[in-house]
Structure 1
Amino acid sequence: MIFLTACEDGDGDSSLATYVAPEEDGGDASRISGEILIEEGCVYLDQKNPTDNLRVPVFPVDEANMEDEVLVHNQEQYEDGAPAEFRGGGWNSKVGDARGGDAFIDSLYLPDRCDDEALVFVVNRAG
């Protein structure tokens, strides 16, 4: 069972979706790559493919945070437009559907400002 929560900034809002990850690293998983897009209060991964939606990466809570407008994941910094590759997996739920209860996990937090048409991608714990 995976539980998701959010890292909140000072005003109680967050641009970063996170979850409490199990201790193991998650094993072999899919890889996803693209550019970080920090837009209107949400962190996305833009795969630069016209047939794919933007993805909202959901990070292990103890491995990622926002520092100003910079994503920090496993001590690496990703500014808006930076190339990135993550290991994990997703399902073909759009953010809007996942908010409506169509999710394979019990507890899911997605920033309110994320586009309802974006797809969710759960980032595995680094291993």
Structure 2
Amino acid sequence: MKKKIAAVIALILLICITATGCAEADQVSYNISKEADNFNVTRKLTVLNARTDTILLELTGTFALKNNSDNELEVIIETADNKYQKDYVYLNDYTMYVVEDISGSAVDKYHYEINFLPEFGLKATYSD
């Protein structure tokens, strides 16, 4: 049991040491992206045709974005408390999109979180 506790403490220290080597901007960027993906930031998505300068879509609200391998932009929109909708925007050679952070993000550059998920059955092996 003591070996397991020591291993967990060593893992936490290793993660802390590794995290302190990051640039300040990297940590802030990560925290802002996490807040946006957790629907805590109001953003504006604009999709436009780059050849004709025509705006094809505008969306303002709390949403998360995923770029999948099929040249599609997956938009997960929070429409009400605990209610979500998923839309897709097809991207081709002539379309582009811009995402603006409307509300701003109050994030802590020193914040990090460690989650141990026992349901995945993570096991460490040790030898004496």
Do the structures match in fold with TM over 0.5?
no
- TM normalised by structure 1 equals 0.26
Give the helix-richer structure, 1 or 2: 2
- TM normalised by structure 2 equals 0.26
Give the strand-richer structure, 1 or 2: 1
